Amino acid sequence: MTGRFSCAALDYSSTLTRPGSPVDPGLGMRRITPAAIEVIHELHEAGMILVLASNTRHGQDRREALRRAGVLEWFTATLQSATLGVAKPDPLFYRFVLAAADVAPSRVLFVGDNMTKDVLGPLEHGMRAALITPDATPLPPGAETIPDITHLPNLIRTWR
């Protein structure tokens, strides 16, 4: 499946969770959806490097959500802004992503739901981007839209 891409850098919020779903009190955040777990599994099985790239609040740890979903061990790195001391769209955050991926920037597909943080920032650093949105949003070259995370494996297979 990997073809053009060796690494998927995944945002957390509406990328791996269902927007509007309740916050799990034990996690302090929304749970990862079963569909996202399936996609993460498929990407892992295909040999992709997985990096979590998420803005977080102080004391929030996305690793627990990944652990509960049974996918934590498949991530090469979990980059969280509260831990790093720098958040998207700061250029340093994207340099951390590239260091964790340890591949050429053009081999990294950054996936998220925010135009500035998950598309424009990664593109400025040579990565490609997939914006999760139900709308046909015009995007700059090097970016594509998908309606939800379940469309990610097909995008990775067909991206030229």
Burial, 21: exposed, middle or buried (Cβ in 10 Å; 0-12, 13-18, 19+)?
exposed
Question: Does residue 44 lie in a domain region?
Answer: yes
Q: Could you list the pLDDT tens digit for every one of the 160 residues in the chain?
A: 557 999 999 999 999 999 889 999 999 999 999 999 999 999 999 999 999 999 999 989 999 999 999 999 999 999 999 999 999 999 999 999 999 999 999 999 999 999 999 999 999 999 999 999 988 889 999 999 999 999 999 999 999 7
Question: Does residue 126 lie in a domain region?
Answer: yes
Pairing of strands 128-132, 49-54: unpaired
Question: Does residue 49 lie in a domain region?
Answer: yes
Range of the structural domain that residue 88 is part of: 7-158
Question: Does residue 1 lie in a domain region?
Answer: no
Q: How many domains does the chain have?
A: 1
Question: Does residue 2 lie in a domain region?
Answer: no
Question: What CATH code is carried by the domain that includes residue 56?
Answer: 3.40.50.1000
Q: Which residues contact 138 (CB under 8 A, 6 or more apart)?
A: none
